[in-house]
Amino acid sequence: MSNVTASSSEVRTAPLRSGFWLVVLGAALWGVDPLFRIILLKSLTSSQIVLLEHVVLFLAAAPVLWRHRAELKGIRIRQAGALLVVSWGGSAVATILFTMALSSGDLNAVLLLQKLQPLFAIGLAALILKERLPRNFGPLILVALAGTYLLTFGWSIPFGHVNSFIGISSLMALGAAALWGGSTVMGRYLLGSMKYETVTSLRFIMALPLLFVITSLENAPWQIHGGLGTSAAIAINLLLQALLPGLLSMLLYYKGLSTTKASFATLAELSFPMTGIVLNWMVFGQLVTLPQIIGFALIWTALFFISSQQPKPEILSKV
């Protein structure tokens, strides 16, 4: 009898763990983005790239949304607000704030402040979704954040004076971290009443109007220098960027998030900087340092223990 109970418990736990690792895989694919963006930035501005990427994603997502159009009838004011946070806040505004912070402030201070994203997500998940954390979750957060710190800064102290953290750029970095954390929580809320394919499609489609406005206000010329070969390279890179770190990553991410608590998922997203380190080594020939190896090991250790104790998410359709 005890064996049967143990087996059924393992069956119930397996989808929860696989969901967590789907979030890890989806976030890891975000790290592939620079491989395609480097070529695109030679001909297009950042907003132009994001706009064209979302046009491609719209073409891919529109048939999916049409298939699930019946779910649109059930969208209420709260769901609509959550969708705006996910699409406008997480996809557009947060990226703009973070880019502006990097261009106008202390680089190390901005990067360090951005690492506070999991804390925003965990706090909002507890406040909005009423998620409860296990007793040993706090130390695992510290281990994961320490690993991320080592991946980014190594043994060095990234700031020389407290003034590095005071200014508009720091507020923009904190705003970006809060919006990304909020996007994770709102995505989890939406998945309580909607399918992950619908949430993914709406994330891309609803961001388009805002991106059109931002690109128009930028008033930058659309210039692609070079011949047919350059145009083909840009088109291929844009397509791959939209489909791999864009569509595929978000489908995996939201499918995993549907069975993963937001507070757990935000730490699973730390696979993103690890992918960047691996790609810098394999593609760009940048040596991996000892602190980065230690940071890599700390993050994976935290992810392993978090996935092994993940509780079943509560019903979130009524908040």
In a domain, residue 9? The reply is no
In a domain, residue 237? The reply is yes
In a domain, residue 2? The reply is no
Asked if residue 6 has pLDDT above 50, the reply is: no
In a domain, residue 6? The reply is no
Q: How far apart are the first and last CA of the chain?
A: 38
Q: Residue 86 — very low, low, confident or very high, per pLDDT cuts 50/70/90?
A: very high
> pLDDT value at position 128?
92
Specify the range with the lowest mean pLDDT, choosing from 1-5, 155-159, 215-219. Answer: 1-5
Specify the range with the lowest mean pLDDT, choosing from 173-177, 225-229, 277-281. Answer: 225-229
Asked if residue 65 has pLDDT above 90, the reply is: yes
| 140-163 average pLDDT score | 78
In a domain, residue 96? The reply is yes
Tally of domains in the chain = 1
pLDDT, the chain, mean: 82
> pLDDT value at position 272?
83
In a domain, residue 4? The reply is no
Show the 3-state SS of 14-80.
Answer: HHHHHHHHHHHHHHHHHCCHHHHHHHHCCCCCHHHHHHHHHHHHHHHHHHHHHHCHHHHHHCCHHHH
pLDDT tens digit sequence for 142-153:
999 899 888 878
**How does 8-37 read in b/e, with b if 16+ C-beta sit within 10 Å?**
eeeeebeebbebbbbbbbbbbbbbbbbbbb
Residue 279's domain comprises 15-308
| 19-47 average pLDDT score | 84
Q: Among 75, 16, 96, which residue's Cα sits nearest to residue 198?
A: 75
User: For residues 111 and 204, which has the higher predicted lDDT (pLDDT)?
Assistant: 204
In a domain, residue 3? The reply is no
| 121-134 average pLDDT score | 89
In a domain, residue 319? The reply is no
pLDDT tens digit sequence for 191-217:
999 999 999 999 999 999 999 999 999
C-alpha span between 292 and 276 (Å, rounded)? 11
Q: Tokens 């992950």 label which residue?
A: 196
CA distances from 315 to 2, 12, 94, 284 (A): 28, 16, 28, 45
